[in-house]
């Protein structure tokens, strides 16, 4: 008699968790995703202001891997992504310069979260639910949320959240996986925004249609706050909204200013942008300012001491880990980690589930 498909719980509905869920769904295996946020997306999220949408996480992504290229091509054909930016600049100690490196970059349209909305299609995603504890019972797993409600049972659990949060769920059940999580450092990042009622001024020697600017990391003092700024109204599908900037802080600066309040962060990031404008240029005063702290924004995979191609972890008890912490900081890394784990789980037959081993 055929065995029923094995049910899988996935904790975290960012890029990695969603990619894992879709890989399982493609083979007819049920996956149930849980996320503490109001919507799936993780660090691909955007914020709606009264008359603008600002991206607070990833500003764009690029492609290297053939499997991810195929996925991005499908998104592009469906109108979920477009190429952007094609007017990227860089600020060095000698001023503003056009940045050309030949890399094709992509962005979700009409906002970055379009990518994760598409990835969530057809999946069972429960939002607003923070899983706080796992319980093992009769070779199955139950999930307990912040209201002490139990979800399950599941034959296996994929944990696709930042490694410090994953470690807390694992330590009681799989100390070796928890120890692996603790070896991965995930660094914080402040992301700010500034909304303007007036258009930004022209910059001498810079095209008026500039879309984004990188601030030279290598030659900046460590106290420098800002590393990247983008114009949200110059992104595909947003040309009818008002002028706004997304402002990403340097990781070192973010680590040193974790306790700062969001408005103070936004003002300091905007001031850092002002300081990098050509001499004599004055910004209009912002009509709206804010910031969001990504507590676990970017993995330092070197700290894990593992080969880069080992992009997920799993145990013999039906617990598994995926996410950018196991592969690298790029959007592609998160997708590949979840996709590869989903393919590996889909290849397992019900009788082999208890034969899993740590790679």
- The distance between the two most distant Cα atoms of the chain, rounded to a whole number of Å, is 78
Residue 2 lies in a domain: no
pLDDT band at 358 (very low <50, low <70, confident <90, very high): very low
DSSP string computed for 142-198:
EEEETT--EEEEESEEEE-S-HHHHHHHHTTT-HHHHHHHHTSEEEEEEEEEEE-SS
Cβ burial 25-57 (10 Å sphere, 16+ → b, else e)? beeebbbbbbbbeeebbbbbbbbebeebbbbbb
User: Domain for residue 118, yes or no?
Assistant: yes
Q: What is the mean pLDDT of residues 281-292?
A: 95
> What tens digit of pLDDT does each residue of 292-309 get?
999 999 998 644 444 445
Residues in contact with 330: Cβ distance below 8 Å, sequence separation at least 6, in sequence order: 61, 62, 324
Q: How far is CA 5 from CA 30, 123, 298, 348, in A?
A: 7, 15, 35, 10
Residue 229 has pLDDT above 90, yes or no: yes
CA dihedral 302, 303, 309, 310 (to 10 degrees): 180
Tell me the per-residue pLDDT of 208-222, one tens digit each, with 9 for 90 and over.
Answer: 999 999 997 655 554
Q: What is the CATH number of the domain that holds 89?
A: 3.50.50.60
Domain-embedded: residue 1: no
In a domain, 28, yes or no: yes
| Contact present, 203 and 281 (Cβ < 8 Å) | yes
Q: How far apart are CA 353 and CA 355, in angstroms?
A: 5
* The total number of structural domains that make up the chain: 1
pLDDT of residue 43: 86
Structure-token match 């199955």, residue found? 140
The range of the structural domain enclosing residue 39 comes to: 8-355
First to last CA, the chain: 32
- The pLDDT-based confidence of 224 (bands split at 50, 70, 90) is confident
CA distance 65 to 69: 6
DSSP β-bridge partners for residue 226: 249
User: Which helix or strand (DSSP H or E) is residue 341 part of?
Assistant: helix 331-347
Please, where are the H alpha helices in 55-151?
A: 66-77, 113-120
The mean-pLDDT minimum among 92-96, 117-121, 155-159, 266-270 falls in 92-96
Residue 88 — pLDDT band, cuts 50, 70, 90?
very high
Residue by residue, DSSP assigns 227-293 as: EEEEEGGGSTT-TTSPPEEEEEEPHHHHHHTTTS-HHHHHHHHHHHHHHTSPTT--PPPPSEEEEEE
**Is residue 276 in a domain?**
yes
Query: Regarding beta strands 185-195 and 288-300, do their DSSP bridges make them parallel or antiparallel, or are they unpaired?
Result: antiparallel
Q: Report how far residue 181's alpha carbon sits from residue 72's, in angstroms, rounded to the nearest whole number.
A: 29
In a domain, 245, yes or no: yes
Mean pLDDT, to the nearest integer, of 233-245? 94
């Amino acid at each position: 008699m055929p065995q029923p498909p094995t049910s899988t719980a996935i904790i975290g509905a960012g890029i990695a968790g969603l990619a894992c869920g879709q890989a399982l769904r493609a083979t007819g295996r049920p996956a149930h995703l849980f996320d503490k946020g109001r919507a799936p997306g993780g660090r691909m999220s955007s914020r709606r202001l009264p008359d603008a949408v600002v991206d607070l996480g990833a500003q764009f992504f690029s492609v290297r891997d053939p499997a991810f290229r195929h996925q991005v091509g499908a998104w592009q054909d469906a109108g979920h992504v477009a190429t952007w930016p094609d007017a990227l600049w860089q600020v060095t100690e000698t001023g503003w310069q056009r940045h050309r490196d030949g890399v094709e970059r992509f962005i979700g349209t009409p906002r970055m979260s379009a990518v994760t909305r598409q990835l969530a299609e057809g999946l069972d995603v429960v939002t607003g639910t923070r899983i706080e504890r796992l319980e093992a019972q009769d070779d199955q797993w139950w999930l307990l949320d912040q209201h002490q409600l139990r979800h399950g049972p599941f034959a296996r659990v994929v944990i696709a959240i930042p490694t410090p949060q994953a470690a807390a769920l694992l330590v009681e059940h799989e100390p070796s996986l928890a120890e692996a999580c603790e070896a991965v450092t995930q660094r914080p990042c402040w992301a700010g925004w500034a909304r303007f009622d007036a258009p930004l001024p022209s910059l001498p020697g810079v095209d008026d249609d500039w879309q984004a600017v990188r601030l030279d990391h290598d030659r900046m003092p460590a106290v420098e706050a800002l590393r990247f700024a983008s114009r949200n109204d110059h992104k595909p599908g947003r040309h009818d909204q008002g002028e706004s900037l997304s402002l990403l802080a340097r990781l070192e600066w973010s680590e040193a200013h974790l306790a700062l309040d969001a408005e103070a962060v936004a003002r300091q990031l905007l001031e850092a942008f002002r300081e990098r404008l050509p001499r004599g240029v004055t910004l209009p005063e912002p009509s709206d300012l804010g910031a969001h702290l990504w507590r676990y924004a970017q993995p330092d995979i070197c700290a894990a001491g593992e080969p880069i191609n080992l992009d997920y972890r799993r145990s013999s008890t039906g617990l598994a880990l995926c996410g950018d912490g196991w592969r690298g900081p790029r959007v592609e890394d998160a997708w590949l980690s979840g996709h590869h784990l989903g393919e590996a789980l889909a290849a397992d037959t019900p009788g082999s589930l208890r034969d899993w081993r740590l790679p």
